[in-house]
Structure 1
Amino acid sequence: MYIYEKAPAKINLMLDVLHKRNDGFHEVEMVMTMVDLADRLTLSDPGTGRISLSTQAGHIPHDDKNLAVRAARLLKQRCGVTRGAHIRLEKRIPVAAGLAGGSSDAAAALRGLNRLWELGLSTAELEELGAEIGSDVPFCVRGGTALATGRGEKLESLPNPPRCWVILAKPPINVSTADVYGNLRAAQIDVHPSASGMRDALERGAFKDVCGGLGNVLEDVTLKLYPQVGRLKEVMQRLGADGVLMSGSGPTVFGLAAKEEKAKRICNGLRGFCEEVYAVRTLE
């Protein structure tokens, strides 16, 4: 028996950091949505009782450093499962890109193994387990579009953005989320993006206002550490994207385009500047 799960990438339509918490995490407000660039997981029970992973991507760890493996072991332990699982991971989302690829893989593993092992856990229970693995995992379990607060684990579902094209461009660097947050001084942030404004734009289905409400307070930190991210953002703006923002802690920059012709034009313009470029759609 094989179980198949898609693990879509996410982008941040807005990301705000309010303050550093006593537990060392940051209090955040984020509006996130899924896009049609996805890893694919095939899950099966090899009959060994063990958890294993294989992938075509040579740079992906196969042990507990892989969030999908960690999720499988956590679920197995918490639910007292004696069966094992083999996870075949087809990797398409760039690694360390600010697109939550690893978190989405973990979420897909939780959803798929819940089915494979016939555990009958609710989405809320899977989200709670996911929060122990990473701050983005609960959102990736739920999918769609959501406002995330706390350290990212408290979710309120929102309407999906109007259907549009999303151009993703990742420069040839990896960014450490821990380094970005480590260099962030939340008390010194001058301009905060508006979660309520983005919620209103989504509820009205107003594409122009979604573009106008894009904001990410981590940009200033990442752009200082990695100036090429800022240059990539400038190129995408110059090519005419309707809205441009860095996703998560970077380095991926995304542009929104209402028309397919514009999306194709932006992609063509970026290819001489950046090798990893994708034109995808928002999910319905």
Structure 2
Amino acid sequence: MGLTMKAPAKINLTLDVLHKREDGYHEVEMVMTSIDLADHLHMVSRKDMDIHVECTTSFVPTDQRNLVYQAAKRLQARFNIKQGVHITIQKKIPVAAGLAGGSSDAAACIKGLNQLWGLRLTTNEMAALGAEIGSDVSFCIYGGTALATGRGEKIIPLPAPPPFWVILAKPPIGVSTGNIYGKLKADQIKAHPDTERMIEAIKEKDFELITASLGNVLEEVTLYEHPQVGQIKERMKRYGADGVLMSGSGPTVFGITQKESRMRKIYHALKGFCRDVYVVRSLGER
């Protein structure tokens, strides 16, 4: 018996860091929304208890370092499951890109095994389990658009923003989220995004206010470490994106617009400048 699960990427419309917590994590406020760039997980039950993960991208680890493997192992142990699973990850989301590819894969694994192994977990129960694996996994369980607080595991659903095109450009580097957060001085952040204004803009479906409210405090660290991220931002702005921001800890930059003509112009301007360029739609809904 097998099934296939879709694992959509996300972008951060806002990312704010409030302070460093006693447990070593940072207290965050993030408004995130799902986009139609997705990995797919093909899952087949095994009669033995082995968990096998393979991936179409060779440099993604398939052992205990992989969040999909960790999710499957945790479910198997937690619910005393006497069977295994073979999981093939068909990668489309760039790796180490700030788009929650690994977290979304783990969320898809949890949701898939919930069906495959007949666990009957609620969405909230799956999200709580996902939080044990990674900060973005809870959001990816729900999908859609949401405010994430705490270390990212506390999710408050939001309505879908108005539809828009998303142009993604990733320079040929990977960024460690832990490294970027480690270099952030939370008490010295110069400008915090207005999270409440972004939430209001989404609720009012005010695209102009959404673009005016974009903000990510991790940009100052990543852009200093990797100047090419700033170059991509400037190029997107120059060619007509209504709003431009780095997603997560980077290095992927996204531009948004509701106009197809602008989308095409930005895409072609970036295609010769950057190898990994994608055009997708916002998903918005859960």
Corresponding residue for residue 75 of structure 1? 75
Corresponding residue for residue 103 of structure 2? 103
AA aligned to 2:272 is G
AA aligned to 1:205 is K
Structure 2 length as normaliser, TM-score?
0.98
Equivalent residues in 2 for 1:1-284, closer than 5 Å: 1-283=1-283, 284=285
- Of 94-103 and 182-191, the range deviating more from structure 2: 182-191
Partner SS state of residue 178, structure 1: helix
Q: In 1, distance between residues paired with 2:158 and 2:259?
A: 23
AA aligned to 2:45 is D
Q: In 1, distance between residues paired with 2:54 and 2:155?
A: 32
Q: In 2, distance between residues paired with 1:274 and 1:69?
A: 32
Q: In 1, distance between residues paired with 2:79 and 2:213?
A: 42
Deviation per residue, 1:226-252 (Å, 9 max, x gap): 111011111111111000000000000
Deviation per residue, 1:183-210 (Å, 9 max, x gap): 1001011211011111100000011111
1:46 Cα shift?
A: 2.2
Partner SS state of residue 32, structure 1: strand
1:59 Cα shift?
A: 0.9
Partner SS state of residue 93, structure 2: coil
AA aligned to 1:218 is L
1:152 Cα shift?
A: 0.3
What residue ranges of structure 1 are gaps of 5+ in the alignment?
Answer: none
Q: In 2, distance between residues paired with 1:277 and 1:27?
A: 31
1:120 Cα shift?
A: 0.1
Structure 1 length as normaliser, TM-score?
0.99
Q: In 2, distance between residues paired with 1:117 and 1:253?
A: 38
Q: In 2, distance between residues paired with 1:119 and 1:252?
A: 36
Q: In 1, distance between residues paired with 2:56 and 2:24?
A: 36
Deviation per residue, 1:58-87 (Å, 9 max, x gap): 111110111111100011111111111111
Q: In 2, distance between residues paired with 1:218 and 1:100?
A: 15
Q: In 2, distance between residues paired with 1:66 and 1:254?
A: 26
1:55 Cα shift?
A: 1.9
Q: In 2, distance between residues paired with 1:175 and 1:62?
A: 19
Q: In 2, distance between residues paired with 1:80 and 1:261?
A: 54
Partner SS state of residue 172, structure 2: coil
Q: In 1, distance between residues paired with 2:141 and 2:186?
A: 28
1:48 Cα shift?
A: 1.8
Partner SS state of residue 254, structure 1: strand
- State how many pairs are aligned: 284
AA aligned to 2:7 is A
AA aligned to 1:36 is D
Q: Sequence identity, in percent?
A: 58
Q: In 2, distance between residues paired with 1:213 and 1:198?
A: 5
Kept in 1: contact 2:48–2:82 (CA 8 A): no
Structure 1 runs of 4+ off > 6 angstroms? none
Deviation per residue, 1:107-155 (Å, 9 max, x gap): 0000000000000001111111111111000000110000000000001
1:157 Cα shift?
A: 0.2
